[in-house]
Structure 1
Amino acid sequence: MPGRYPVTFGEVELLRDLDRQHGWMLSKDGVPQSYVDLEDPTYLDFEYVRLMADVIDVLPDGPLNCVHVGGGACTIPRYVAATRPGSRHIVVEPDAALVELVRSQLDLRSVPKLKVRLQGGLEAIAGIWDDSTDLLVLDAFSGAMMPVELATAEYMADLARVLRPTGTLLINLADGKGLAFARRLVATVRGTFRHVTLLADPGVMRGRRFGNLIVAASPAELPVDLLTRRAAGGLTQARCVYGEALTNFVAGAPPIRQGDAVLAPVPPPAVFGLE
């Protein structure tokens, strides 16, 4: 049922998509958090989620062992379950009431081989076995801001610990003019992972407007040529930046370390029509 629902950390709103019979938007404080189509989990409404799916689609065929830090309506777990049957999912979400809402209202129980850990990102990853994960998705936001404690070099080292040698890390971040936070986060990821690429809408990549950027990282080589073609040929016509171009993007920005006085950027109110 559409409406506002109290959750552990505030209130969320469920909105029906009037253009798609089974489409639903999960929003918090006016900020869209997740979109799911309950009959077609391969339909991805948000541009940045489609970029994540582009990366997932170029990974070797077969089921994946996945960890998702940040639950929401579990859009990516639903997508992977549909496109790679037999995949296993651990979803990390500290908001117990939100999880129960998604279970009851958005049919989360229909997703096979999915377990939820009611923990924060730091605590949950500390409890994951070494070399156990093929795909690790970090898409955790407090409102519209990424928790900085999940962007540090120390946390990246723990994420690397749980990834298999061929595993892939996907990070969703948001930034705007100047991309100072994005540059530091990419520098942080490059300090841990040998292979890193960045995907985003060209306007966002140039810092002309606030939006989402996707970092893909792995101990193993990423199929950047294929990924570049897929990203450029999609609806977003996104850029894929890696190698020397990514070095130029970072422009000497220092990594983020635990205790650094760093603030994740806050989107301007106009981004979500909140003015």
Structure 2
Amino acid sequence: MDDRQQERAALGVHLSVSGQRARILEDGFSEHGYVLEIGGAEQSHVDIADATVVFYEYLRRIANVLDVLAPPHEPITALHLGAGALTLARYVQATRPGSGQVAVDYEPQLMGFVAELLPLPAGTRCELVVSDARAVLPELPRLFGHNPAVTDGVFRGIDAVILDIFTGMDAPAHLATADYYAELRELLSGRGVLVVNVGDDAGLPFFQQQARAMLDTFEHVWCLCDSSMLTGEHEGNVVLIGTARELDEDAADALFARGPHPAEVLGTEELWDFLEYLSGI
């Protein structure tokens, strides 16, 4: 950024829905890193020189899922529900050029502010949409109309749906339901995954609700987290992956190897065991 852009980024923009202010600030520890701050809390991190750098722990775990979803460099289709600083949209473009993407956020001012000051990598095919994360679903075949999700006018489904909106029990009620997960499942391609970031308090009460809703909806649900989260004693983020695919040894090993460490990778049965443990503490 030049000096004028940095001044505008630091001044920020008022978000009309939440009433909070969004700002973009230097991260303070790297040459090309910036942090999106909303309401005084850090929300996203972007390295504008290298989009493969994913600094936040839970976002790195989601990026790992995108890595094992398809062969390296093969384009995918991705839907981002909760756009933030478009960190993962940048990552998909950097690792899988030519991918078709849609990013949705309910704050009218946010994505334009981010895209202006932290432009997406050259060649990125990502439609930026202001909408509610559930209300937008009927529009997706049209929004994905000019990329690989649609072939000969037929909607073939989305390879990765990333839901990154939840902050514990304050999550929007109409999004934290098995019915909504079922609607998202219907949008997936044959190899598709629904990836849900769940931020929660100690005891993980909201995570338990969402994991059970996912298990009611998908044949298989994987779980990725820092191993310390398995005690149930800490607040933090846990990533759930709903899919038709069993977590085989190769995928589990690949996800574990990518970290960040200490890492835990649970398959469906292990997730059930974790939920049983949490219900007893």
The answer (yes or no) to whether the contact 1:187–1:253 under 8 Å persists in 2 is: no
Aligned mate of 2:52, from 42, 67, 73: 42
The 3 A distance-change label for structure 1 pair 142 and 216 is closer
Deviation at 1:141, TM superposition (A): 4.4
Deviation at 1:178, TM superposition (A): 1.6
Deviation at 1:231, TM superposition (A): 2.5
TM-score, normalised relative to structure 1: 0.85
Say whether 1:83 aligns with 2:95: yes
90-99 or 75-84: bigger deviation = 90-99
Coordinate RMSD, CA, aligned: 2.3
The residue type paired with residue 60 of structure 2 is R
Deviations 1:195-244 (A, max 9, x none): 11111111123222111110111123344543345325523321011232
Q: 1:148 is paired with a residue of what secondary structure?
A: coil
The residue type paired with residue 3 of structure 1 is A
Aligned residues: 254
Q: Distance in 1 between matches of 2:224 and 2:11?
A: 33
The 3 A distance-change label for structure 1 pair 195 and 15 is same
Say whether 1:190 aligns with 2:197: no
Q: 2:140 is paired with a residue of what secondary structure?
A: coil
Greater RCO, 1 or 2 (C-alpha within 8 Å, sep 6+): 1
Say whether 1:167 aligns with 2:192: yes
The 3 A distance-change label for structure 1 pair 202 and 136 is same
Q: Distance in 1 between matches of 2:35 and 2:266?
A: 30
Identity fraction in percent: 31
Deviations 1:146-200 (A, max 9, x none): 3232120110011011101210111111112221211111110111111111111
TM-score, normalised relative to structure 2: 0.83
The residue type paired with residue 90 of structure 1 is V
Q: 1:41 is paired with a residue of what secondary structure?
A: coil
Deviation at 1:116, TM superposition (A): 1.0
Counterpart in the other structure of 1:136: 161
Counterpart in the other structure of 2:3: none
Counterpart in the other structure of 2:16: 8
16-25 or 145-154: bigger deviation = 145-154
Say whether 1:94 aligns with 2:141: no
The answer (yes or no) to whether the contact 2:21–2:39 under 8 Å persists in 1 is: yes
Q: 1:165 is paired with a residue of what secondary structure?
A: strand
Deviation at 1:13, TM superposition (A): 2.1
The answer (yes or no) to whether the contact 2:230–2:274 under 8 Å persists in 1 is: no
Q: 2:75 is paired with a residue of what secondary structure?
A: coil
- Trace 1:26-65 onto structure 2 (pairs within 5 A): 26-61=36-71, 62-65=74-77
Deviation at 1:18, TM superposition (A): 2.4
The answer (yes or no) to whether the contact 2:167–2:199 under 8 Å persists in 1 is: no
Q: Distance in 1 between matches of 2:175 and 2:38?
A: 20
